[in-house]
Every structure is written in C-alpha cells, then in structure tokens.
Structure 1
C-alpha cells in the first residue's frame, strides 16, 4: 500500500502575509496547513486511529498535570503558533507558561498566538518523514521552545530537544521528565506494539 506523504508547496516567489496565511487556514478548515520558517506551505495528512489515540492520551496526561499545578495552558494539534522565527506550526501537544500566555492580548490569543510554546510533543505518524519532523523540532528550538519530545514509533525511540543542547536519542520504554520546564511532570512511553 502506498503512503500519502504531506504535501509541501514551495512559495519562494509568493510571500503570504500573516493575515493571508490566517485567512487561508480559516477558509479551508478541512485542511491542516502549516508554514515552515522558510515559507513553504505544508498540507498535513490526517492521522489514523492508533496515532490519534496516542496523541489524545499524551494531551490528557499533560492536561491532568497542568490542572493540578495551574502553571500554564495546554494546546492540542489544532492550534497553530506563529513562531518568532517565521514558521506557523501545530505541535501535536503544546504547553505555554501562564504568565507568557497572559501577556498576549485577547486578539493575539484568538488568532494564531504569536508565541513559541515552552514545551512541545510531536508524535511521528506512519505518513511523517523523520527528517521533516526533526527540522520542525529545530524550528521550535530556534524560536524559543525550551523542551520538546519527538516520539518515533517506527524506530522505538524518543528524541529529546532542549534549548542550547544537542538532541538526545533514547530507546523505548522510557519515563520522560518535564525537567525544570514542567516540574514534576512525567510521561511513561512504552514500546509501540502496533506499528
């Protein structure tokens, strides 16, 4: 069976303003569109049931921790963040520290928030190219994300991205720590069995 990969449109000669990109996304809600820091539009494919279930469980774990600590705000993969270095990206799960979120105006919070999350999770689905996801993780770091986890079921690994450090690659199973970014948050990631 042939896999359908995300569609990338190189727009080097066409420069969409932030408002034009926002309107493109709002006008086409059936598409999951991102924009790389280089300006390429990326139309993402929907995920299957197993990836969607995993993503939801990770968001639930992050949300439960956040409800207990009240330290910030949790976001789903439907949220596009307008990153400071130019990309407009949708992590599978994201968290922003409360005071940073509250510093945004109500208008900024309604549209694509012009802020880099403090923490992101990306879960590689069957249609995701690993190199593209690694580039996306680097965009997050370049824009100020402090901690990111790239979960890779195909290789039974997780890549840990930290501000100012080389990425760390660990085999599954693993108990991930939110470190100082998400105090006392832990996420158990077992081996993926149904890929």
Structure 2
C-alpha cells in the first residue's frame, strides 16, 4: 500500500484550515486489497473516518471531533436504540459510526479483491435481512449486508457534496431509507433518500427546519429533531 505523509506546522486553526482546503478534503489510496485494509484499520486509531470504495481507500483527515456533532450523533443513536429496544423482535443489529458494512451490490464480481465498506453514523439491519446471513457472515468485522435504515449527520467539518455521494451509495447498495441531516445550514435541511423502482433511480425528499422526521422503514419511529438540536446547543 502506498504511504501518504505530509508535515504541517502551525496553530490548530491553521492546520484545520489547511485540511479543509484540500479538494476534496480526503486522502485517497488506490488498489487497497482486503488484507491491506484490515492491517490499516488494526494499526490506526478509530477516530479516522475511513471508507473502502471498490478497492479504493478514502481517509478523511483527522480533524478535531466537534462536541456539537458528537453530541448530536449520540442523541440520534439514543433515539434509534430506544425504538430498537421497544421493537427487539424486529431488529437484527444496530450500528454506530464505530461499525461498518460490506456492500456487495457496489462491488464488481470480476474483481473480488476490490471491496466496498462504508461506516454509518447510525444504522439498523432488520431481523429478516440480518437472519439471511450465515453465522460466519454475522461474526465478520464488516458484515456483508446493507442496512435497512441509515442516518448520517453532517458535522461542521464535513463536505455536503461527499455526504450526498455517500447517501446515494447507501441506497444503491440496498438501503431502504437513508436520512442525511445538515444543521449547519440556515434553514437546516433533512434529506430522506430512497430508491424509486418506477424511475429506476435514487430519489430524495428535502425538508427544512424539521421538528420531527418520521421513518417509513422503522414502523412508528419518529426522530425528535428538537432534542437533536438541543443536544448540539442549537436552540
């Protein structure tokens, strides 16, 4: 695997501004096979945001973890976990940003070493889909299954364009409902992505300054956006 190394000197704000100036703000390592990916993950801190797209390793720079987005992610996961506890008979597995899934629909069967692995801020795999996996597949580090439901929260350091691309990838991989939340905009914006079989493409519904977001996949689940905002000190 190629090594990417660059020294940057200056204050914290200068370093952050430098990383944000990268276009796009990420490090790309092509031709990363599964063994190399496992080694990279095992020796690097989990705070790095890493994706594997058809064998291409994409690393988001180690920007500071902003307390607002971290708190918002925790609140989102809390609400989703509460729904899962109330509906445990429907749930296979729930995942936070520390988990990841291998997305077989985004891979080319002619190139088995070029895998695609994405990590969500919050995801739910429902029981029917989870139980379709073998016991060995369930125990792998990156289960080969697309979640039924995904939420991604845009932090102040994230790229809206890259998040949009990721949401398209989630749905093209088989996610039934993928929700992106951008509270940095004024007005704030929530997008609910899904696949339209009639149009044969990914579509999304955009809502501004939402008070709540109702899921069409997790029956009865309503994301309380006011609680998410309060957790992020956005009143």
Query: TM-score by structure 2 length?
Result: 0.74
Distance in 2 of aligned mates of 1:67 and 1:59: 12
Correspondent of 1:27 among 43, 60, 67? 43
Distance in 2 of aligned mates of 1:162 and 1:38: 25
Unaligned runs of 5+ residues in structure 2 are: 1-12, 108-115, 197-201
Q: Is residue 77 from structure 1 mapped to residue 97 from structure 2 by the alignment?
A: yes
Which deviates the most, 105-114 or 117-126? 105-114
1:166 aligns to what SS in structure 2?
strand
Are residues 128 and 37 of structure 1, via their aligned partners in 2, closer, same or farther at CA, if it must alter by over 3 Å? Answer: farther
Query: 1:184 — aligned with what?
Result: 220
The structure having more radius of gyration, on CA atoms, is 2
Query: TM-score by structure 1 length?
Result: 0.87
Shift of 1:75: 0.6
How many residues get paired? Answer: 191
Correspondent of 1:67 among 65, 85, 89? 85
Q: Is residue 99 from structure 1 mapped to residue 128 from structure 2 by the alignment?
A: yes
Which deviates the most, 101-110 or 37-46? 37-46
Distance in 2 of aligned mates of 1:184 and 1:141: 21
Give the superposed CA RMSD: 2.2
Shift of 1:159: 0.8
Unaligned runs of 5+ residues in structure 1 are: none
Distance in 2 of aligned mates of 1:83 and 1:22: 16
Which deviates the most, 181-190 or 143-152? 181-190
Which deviates the most, 88-97 or 157-166? 157-166
Correspondent of 2:34 among 10, 14, 18? 18
Query: 2:153 — aligned with what?
Result: 123
